[in-house]
Amino acid sequence: MYARLSSVLFPVAALLFVGAILWGYQEHQEKNAIMIKAENQYQRAFHDLASHMGSLQDELGQTLAVSSVSQGMQRKGLIKVWRLTSQAQNEISQLPLAGVPFNKAGDFLSRISDFAYRTSVRDLTKQPLSQDEIKTMKSLYAKASDVNKDLTNIRESVMNDHLRWMDVEVAMAGKDEPYNNTIIDGLKAVDKKIGSYPENDWGPAAMASKRGHPVRMLSGKPDVTADKIKQQALAFLGTTAMSGAGRQVNVVENGKNTDMPGYTATVPGPNGENIQMDYTRKGGELLWYMNPRTVKTRKLDFASAKAKAAQFLDQHGYKNMTPVTYDEYDHVSVFTFVGQKNNVKIYTDKVTVRVALDNGEAVGLQASDHVFAPRVLSTGKPKLSQSEARKSLNSDFKVQASSLALIENEENKQVLCYEFVGKVGGEQYRIYINADSGLEESVEKIPEKARALLK
């Protein structure tokens, strides 16, 4: 009897054992594939950052080299500088730098971008570059050269020593400082050097309007502690955070000696992923939330995803907001919402929500524009009627919808406009006509996916 029973159970046990080994091997392979993909993305972003910083230095040098009367070449050079700084900023945002003091570098690039943009959009034939602006560009060229040397050294270390960006994430996840990581040490040195540079005279047309902007928006609010941030993070995540490992919240303070110190809260998710949230120290305002879990399937349609995004915002206190843009990738929907007051869209007040299409969970939130948005007490009333504003449109532009909108123009001033949505040349656009002057303030092409919001 025992022999017969063992003859039956042994093959079953063997099959189960082999199955467990195969399952474990497959899980290990999938985990390795995800890590390799993430590492490749980090490596690409960093090498692109170093490359674009090198190109930025070259463009500044070439713009300085042309004749002072070659306004056309100066303008082209400044536009390229603006484009390169924007790309560099985007690449910084793709790196695992939460908790790494690299904010001075980002602010430096932001100011270069703003300086280049505001200088290039004006008529240089009537208002050529001033001596102070030329001096500023020479200073930026020298600083860019200095930063490039350090980034080149980091890149060489990464390549020669086969360093991994995933190790940066592991180091940052640890609770003990200082971090023993070549990449982190290199980036901290770059940021410290940028912080030691003397302040440029950016001129009245550049960053003067934005200097101190975050501090002003949060003035009067008290500082919060790391323990308070821990409570807020758990409250924000709700039942997800309160289950299992989610009770463990690691809070790290960032930017202690900057204008905008803050905290990064890291919470282990139910599937082993690290959920991260960035908060301001003043007021404890949530700036950013990301749950990096992999979304493998799509079960929700567009309407359901939009409803989930709106519900998520409403539950977390983002009231009276309407969706204006939409995108989708890797089974995740991305909606941008703007505030709405008295039927006027407030484009200076916006949030971006990422919704997983497998179960409708909100897996990302970008709210810094909402936190630092100027408080709109009154949108004002238009001097022109809608029919009068329509006269400024191209005669071939077929209007499909219209509304009032408050936008920020190129001079960083809020202006009330009529927003006209329509078609011309087979494409859809938003055109913003100043509600007081009838001048065209802005034109925006609507991406194909975002057109679903217009139906």
Same domain for 237 and 349, yes or no, is yes
Phi first, then psi, for residue 360 (nearest 5°) are: 80, 10
Q: For residue 182, is pLDDT > 60?
A: yes
- Whether 4 is covered by a domain: the verdict is no
CA 422 vs. chain centroid, Å, equals: 28
Q: Are 109 and 34 members of one domain?
A: yes
Which strand (E) or helix (H) includes residue 131? Answer: helix 131-160
Evaluate if residue 445 carries a pLDDT over 90: no
Mention every residue, 6+ apart, whose C-beta is less than 8 A from residue 21. Answer: none
Question: What is the tens place of the pLDDT at every residue in 379-393?
Answer: 889 999 999 999 988
Give the percent of the chain with pLDDT over 70: 75
Q: Does residue 13 lie in a domain region?
A: no
* Domain end call among 330, 345, 371: 371
Residues 141 and 44 in one domain: yes
Least-confidence region, from 11-25, 128-142, 285-299, 372-386: 11-25
pLDDT in tens, 35-48: 676 677 777 877 78
Q: Which of 161, 190, 211 is the last residue of a domain?
A: 211
Question: What is the structure's pLDDT at 211?
Answer: 40
Q: Are residues 287 and 419 in the same domain?
A: no
Of 92-101, 102-111, 392-401, which gets the smallest average pLDDT? 92-101
- At which of 211, 230, 249 does a domain end? 211
Task: Quote the pLDDT of residue 433.
Answer: 93
Two tokens at 229? 């941030």
Residue with the bigger pLDDT between 382 and 143: it is 382
Is residue 174's pLDDT more than 60? Answer: no
Task: Decide if 139 is inside a domain.
Answer: yes
The SS3 of residue 22 is helix
Neighbours of 308 (CB within 10 A): 21
Please indicate, yes or no, if residue 122 is contained in any of the structural domains: yes
31 plus 111 within the same structural domain: yes
Structural domains counted in the chain: 3
State whether 420 and 306 are in the same domain.
Answer: no
Q: Please check whether residues 206 and 221 belong to one and the same domain.
A: no
**Same-domain status, 157 and 183:** yes
Residue 7 in any domain: the answer is no
CA proximity to 238, closest of 197, 216, 270: 270
Residue 91's domain comprises 26-211
Sequence letter at residue 280:
T
Summarised one tens digit per residue, pLDDT across range 183-202 is: 777 777 777 777 666 555 44
Residue 375 has pLDDT above 50, yes or no: yes
**Do 288 and 356 have their domain in common?**
yes
How many CB atoms within 10 Å of residue 291? 23
CB neighbour list of residue 291: distance below 8 Å, 6 or more residues apart: 269, 273, 275, 361, 363, 364
| Whether residue 135 sits in one domain with residue 108 | yes
| CATH code, 439 | 3.10.450
pLDDT over threshold 70, residue 343: yes
pTM here is: 0.57
Residues 259 and 292 in one domain: yes
- Ranges 208-217, 288-297, 375-384, 431-440, most confident: 431-440
Q: Is 175 part of any domain? A: yes
Q: What percent of the chain has pLDDT over 90?
A: 18
288 found inside a domain: yes
**Whether residue 333 has pLDDT greater than 50:** yes
Do 172 and 33 reside in the same domain of the chain?
yes
pLDDT at residue 248 greater than cutoff 60 = yes
Task: Answer yes or no: is 85 within a domain.
Answer: yes
